[in-house]
Structure 1
């Protein structure tokens, strides 16, 4: 039978262990709503997918996951908030995407180190990018697009969701290969740029598939997609590879938090978001926007971000990219 001193030491050890245990192990995380910053206006494909993810993950987490839209600055305001104001307690998260990874290499004063200033939680999915033009306009195919650009230097305007976004850089690479001069017209979000083409403000949109309803409605014509294979939804649109360019552009994104998050909290969030990502309801939303699955668990997502940072740094140097 243990002595009184032994029992007392055991009780103190147990108490100390309980005090040292992280909050999530005691059922205290989350004990209030979680904020998920979406750095785009409501209505776009990423907003729809992340809103669905937030609603579904709340069922697992037992607390609401509230989406907060913070558009502007090419979709980097969420990252800015994480690095300047958010606590690493798991209650403030944001979408992580390629413009955030790229930004330190295209500005004079890097705002963050993407490999060390965030806690990368999970990779989710990407986009089906493509170029769409006004259905009754002069361009009916990619060949027409190139021919018009060559015959009218500096007159072919294209819209994207922001300066130095993945789609912006992809079009500039295509223009450089064809030796044509295009005029970039950035909008705050892909759905806004698609409407601008339909109304005649700009000649084409190069962005994610928020243009899809207007293509299906007959207002826009899709002249190419940037996925590895043709889209089952738009089988008439060739891929960039079919057009002679060895390019596949999907721009995967995920969810990250501030640096220094508790690994247990990170794991709990990852598991809840993964369950939501694989839920048929979220699969349906991704299918609506033709968004390819690009799931990465936490460790692999961190590795992906590190590899992508090296690539973006090399491309920024190669193309001499600067936005300030």
Structure 2
């Protein structure tokens, strides 16, 4: 009798265990059943925000549920990052995270109210992009050497704008390689720093390509250099840093992240959706117009990028004695 009972119990347990994979897949199969929210840690207008809105529109079409973009601008995109880190781990609150809050903030802040590698899980990198060193259209600088010479002669009149820790660290690295002397002025979004440069309120900004392309093509700003290895199609007349003898190659990225603990099946489904979106011809054309290269990585590939870049930029920050205010 006892043996029969044991056999029945074992069989029931085995049947339940065999059902576990199906149960694990159930949340992903049903996902989503309600609207998804994508948090952007910057003001509207920057590359991160533009990509979030592109993804939101196409993801809504692909998944059949509304996808809303919500801007939570703050210094270092910390507020938006914390909001997602503290959100339920169900895939309905996502972060369009840039390099800044994920790999630069750990290098610049001694204490952060979130841990990029413990509180967030990578989904997929949407796109990568270079930075553009920009000045006012009527500025007397023809190249980076001219700008450096001016700032050395006029350090009290020279400054630069940046909207996040990533741009600040990149600019400070540029300063160390060129001798540029300029004080830092913080902004909440890339478009704010671009507008200040265009109006002559600040000397320069090293900004993501998205918000820089339009004003440069429109004659409101002048691009002195891009940080990519080759010139970019959207700004073919703007030389690279390397062409001007400056050893500076920087590519930033934007990608989706979810709260830690989000079921892997849901994360994989979201990653597959990003991979589908970045292959769409109209999306690729839109990204190309902003000098953004489509990516569409797996969660594992994204995790490797983060694991590599956090120590890289921490080393740069330490070598240049740079800390956030």
TM-based fold match above 0.5 = yes
Name the SS for the 1:67 alignment partner. Answer: strand
The answer to whether the aligner puts 1:21 opposite 2:30 as a matched pair is: no
Q: Partner residue of 2:83?
A: 81
Corresponding position of 1:188 = 188
Q: Give the aligned partner of residue 252 of structure 2.
A: 251
1:112 aligns with 2:114: yes
- 2:300 matched to 1:285? no
Judge conservation of contact 1:48–1:285 (CA < 8 Å) in 2. Answer: no
Equivalent residue, structure 1, for 2:239: 238
- State the partner residue of 1:90: 91
Q: How high is the TM-score relative to the length of structure 2?
A: 0.89
Q: CA deviation at 1:140?
A: 2.7
Q: How far apart, in 1, do the equivalents of 2:292 and 2:93 lie? A: 25
Cα deviation, residue 77, structure 1: 2.2
Structure 2 match to 1:148: 150
1:50 to 34, 49, 52: 52
CA contact (8 A) 2:133 2:226 kept: yes
| Equivalence map 1:118-129=2 (5 Å) | 118-129=120-131
**Alpha-carbon offset, residue 30 of structure 1:** 0.8
* Residue in structure 2 matching 1:30, options 24, 32, 36: 32
Decide whether aligned partners of structure 1 residues 313 and 128 sit closer, same or farther in structure 2, where only a CA change above 3 A counts: closer
TM-score, reference length from structure 1: 0.89
Q: How many residues align?
A: 315
Q: Identify the residue that residue 3 of structure 2 maps to in structure 1.
A: none
CA distance in 2, matches of 1:197, 1:224: 15
What's the CA shift for 1:11? Answer: 12
The match for 1:130 is: 132
**Whole-Å Cα distance in 1 between the matches of residues 114 and 89 of structure 2?**
16
Q: How does 1:7-18 map to 2 (within 5 A)?
A: 13=15, 17=19
Secondary structure at 2:214's aligned position in 1?
helix
Following superposition, the deviation at residue 193 of structure 1 comes to 1.3
- Contact 1:104 / 1:111 at 8 angstroms: preserved in 2? no
Q: Provide the rounded CA distance (Å) in 2 between the counterparts of 1:120 and 1:181.
A: 37
Asked if the contact 1:118–1:256 (Cα under 8 Å) also holds between the matched residues in 2, the reply is yes
CA distance in 2, matches of 1:116, 1:281: 35
Which residue does the alignment assign to 2:169? Answer: 169
Would the aligned equivalents of 1:49 and 1:282 in 2 still touch at CA under 8 Å? no
Per-residue CA deviation, residues 265-312 of structure 1 (Å, 9 max, x unaligned), is 111111111111211222122112111234321111111111111212
Task: Report if the CA contact (8 A) 2:234-2:290 is conserved.
Answer: no
In the superposition, relative to structure 1, how do residues 103 and 11 fare at CA in structure 2: closer, same or farther (>3 Å)?
closer
1:30-83 Cα deviation digits (max 9, x unpaired): 110111111122222221222111111122222111111111122232211122
Mapping of residues 257-296 of structure 1, within 5 Å: 257-296=258-297
Extract unaligned runs of 5+ from structure 1. none
